[in-house]
């Protein structure tokens, strides 16, 4: 065992010296591997960061959350012309389902309406997203309040003129100093009393932060827009109780809504049951495809880098033919020569990979700085993958030159070198 360790140590030392003595060649060999590893790890890190950001944005919702609407969130076999004829879900259907579906934890009716302008005194904020929801939305989204409260069931049902502000909206309207609770702001040309302010959340990669939105009872918005306004996008969001059979719950939910709409057994359901788990699976599928594409594209850079290392190693063998002959004549075994050149190729590739990882690390810091609250993450796993790939590339690229060097006849090697 000690003999093998000594062979490894000596081979490693010869490889390092060879790289030191041929700095320009070493540098040129590094470039291909560095670019390849940088490309692969940059793509993996970007996709991981994107996935983490998306999952963070939907983390407040339970994966079992169900969204009923006239629109499908994923692929569907229903033709487009038929989907366009589907009626929008109604507030009455929401009330019916909330009261008749067993094992239902919370349900909320939401309207996606155009952005509005909000005013307080001389302060005005344009293009503010309006969250028109029922009171249960607070529990489904697991909202966190900085001050005040969310509107209750009575205020929701009656459509009281109350509003809950996102953190940034409150800061801008009240100059970051005044107490927002109890103040009256103007939206839709009428006064709303501020009853709550949400905790600061921070902006996401795609925007849409709760900090820049406001929430009000859906019924006050329904009175302004009506129930058949094409500019609204109504949804019924349902959270089932934990530890129940989701498939069975979804089937019962669909059956209840079909019954409410009077659909015959042979008729296609005129609504879509979208489960958040399906959306999460779709995200996983998209990110997997992006990773695959990144591997495929970056593989060409690694291929070029591998050929570069192999070419340099063959040149190195040719230049050191005389030295190899002398080493063999002095008793060096074939495995010593083999390990010497393999180590040289692997060290070369690993150094290139580490430089590539360092460049990704620098890019991740810069990207995080320029994208605000979006965090570009270079995980330990991706760093390990990059180093491992580098070592494998070096091993594959150096195996043939190393074998050819180890099989040289010492007499012929010395004669050729002379």
Identify the domain boundary among 241, 270, 299.
270
Residues 163 and 240 reside in one and the same domain: yes
Residues 17 and 138 reside in one and the same domain: no
Maximum distance among all Cα pairs of the chain, rounded to whole angstroms: 101
Over residues 163-181, the mean pLDDT reads 86
Residues 291 and 254 reside in one and the same domain: no
Model pLDDT for residues 297-329, shown as the tens digit of each residue? 667 767 777 777 777 777 777 766 777 777 677
Residues 323 and 344 reside in one and the same domain: yes
- Does some domain include residue 331? yes
- Does some domain include residue 275? no
Residues 262 and 364 reside in one and the same domain: no
Is the alpha carbon torsion for 78, 82, 88, 93 positive or negative?
negative
- Does some domain include residue 408? yes
Q: Structure tokens of 48?
A: 């991981």
Helix and strand counts by DSSP (H, E) for the chain? 14, 12
Q: What is the DSSP letter of 24?
A: H
Number of domains in the chain: 2
Residue identified by tokens 């960061």 is 49
Structural domain harbouring 172: 87-270
Residues 288 and 345 reside in one and the same domain: yes
Helix-helix angle 380-406:276-319, to 10 degrees: 30
Identify the domain boundary among 220, 238, 270.
270
Q: What is the pLDDT of residue 280?
A: 60
**Nearest-5° Cα angle at 62, 77 to 212:** 95
Q: What is the pLDDT of residue 191?
A: 94
Model pLDDT for residues 104-140, shown as the tens digit of each residue? 989 999 999 999 999 998 889 999 999 999 999 998 8
Over residues 33-45, the mean pLDDT reads 77
Which DSSP helix (H) or strand (E) runs through 406? Answer: helix 380-406
Q: What is the pLDDT of residue 241?
A: 87
Q: What is the pLDDT of residue 205?
A: 41
Identify the domain boundary among 270, 298, 313.
270
Distance CA 50, CA 121 (A): 40
Q: Structure tokens of 406?
A: 């180890």
β-sheet bridge partners, residue 240:
104
Q: Structure tokens of 265?
A: 């057994």
Residues 32 and 171 reside in one and the same domain: no
- Does some domain include residue 78? no
User: Where are the strands (E) in 145-250, listed by range?
Assistant: 145-148, 162-165, 184-187, 190-198, 214-217, 233-240
- Does some domain include residue 73? no
Model pLDDT for residues 271-305, shown as the tens digit of each residue? 988 876 655 666 667 767 776 776 776 677 677 77
Q: Structure tokens of 374?
A: 């979006």
Q: Is the pTM of this model over 0.85?
A: no
- Does some domain include residue 367? yes
- Does some domain include residue 75? no
Phi first, then psi, for residue 116 (nearest 5°) are: -130, 175
Q: Which residue has the higher pLDDT, 169 or 334?
A: 169
Which DSSP helix (H) or strand (E) runs through 117? Answer: strand 116-120
β-sheet bridge partners, residue 145:
198
Q: What is the pLDDT of residue 206?
A: 40
Residue 372 has pLDDT above 60, yes or no: no
- Does some domain include residue 74? no
**Nearest-5° Cα angle at 375, 373 to 379:** 165
Over residues 348-357, the mean pLDDT reads 82
């Amino acid at each position: 065992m000690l003999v093998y360790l000594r062979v490894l140590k000596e081979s490693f030392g010869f490889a390092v010296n060879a790289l030191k003595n041929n700095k320009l060649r070493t540098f040129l060999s590094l470039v291909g591997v560095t670019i390849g590893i940088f490309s692969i790890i940059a793509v993996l890190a970007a996709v991981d960061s994107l996935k983490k950001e998306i999952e963070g944005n939907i983390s407040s919702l339970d994966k079992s959350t169900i969204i009923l609407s006239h629109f499908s969130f994923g692929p569907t076999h229903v033709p487009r012309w038929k989907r366009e004829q589907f009626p929008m879900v109604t507030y009455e259907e929401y009330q019916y389902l909330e009261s008749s579906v067993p094992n239902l934890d919370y349900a909320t009716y939401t309207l996606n309406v155009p952005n509005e302008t909000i005013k307080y005194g001389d302060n005005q904020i344009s293009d503010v997203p309006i969250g028109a929801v029922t009171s249960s939305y607070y529990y489904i989204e697991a909202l966190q309040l900085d001050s005040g409260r969310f509107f209750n069931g009575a205020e929701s049902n009656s459509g009281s003129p109350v509003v809950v502000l996102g953190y940034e909206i409150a800061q801008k309207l009240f100059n970051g100093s005044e107490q927002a609770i109890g103040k009256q702001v103007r939206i839709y040309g009428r006064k709303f009393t501020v009853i709550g302010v949400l905790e600061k959340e921070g902006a996401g990669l795609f925007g849409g932060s709760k900090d820049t939105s406001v929430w009000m009872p859906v019924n006050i918005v329904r009175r302004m827009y009506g129930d058949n306004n094409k500019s609204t996008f109504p949804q019924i969001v349902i959270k089932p109780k934990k530890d129940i059979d989701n498939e069975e719950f979804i089937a019962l939910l669909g059956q209840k809504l079909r019954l409410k709409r009077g659909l015959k057994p042979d008729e296609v359901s005129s609504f879509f049951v979208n489960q958040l788990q399906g959306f999460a699976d779709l995200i996983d599928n998209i990110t997997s495809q992006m990773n695959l594409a990144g591997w495929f594209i970056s593989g060409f850079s690694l291929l070029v880098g591998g050929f570069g290392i192999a070419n340099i190693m063959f040149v190195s063998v040719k230049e050191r033919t005389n030295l190899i002959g002398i080493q063999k004549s002095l008793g060096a075994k074939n495995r010593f020569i083999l390990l010497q050149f393999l180590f040289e190729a692997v060290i070369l590739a690993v150094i290139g990979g580490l430089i590539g990882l360092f460049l990704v690390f620098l890019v991740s810091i810069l990207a995080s700085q320029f994208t605000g609250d979006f965090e570009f993450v270079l995980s330990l796993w991706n760093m390990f993958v990059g180093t491992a790939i580098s070592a494998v590339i070096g091993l594959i690229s150096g195996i043939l030159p190393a074998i050819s060097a180890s099989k040289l006849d010492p007499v012929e090697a010395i004669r050729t070198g002379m």
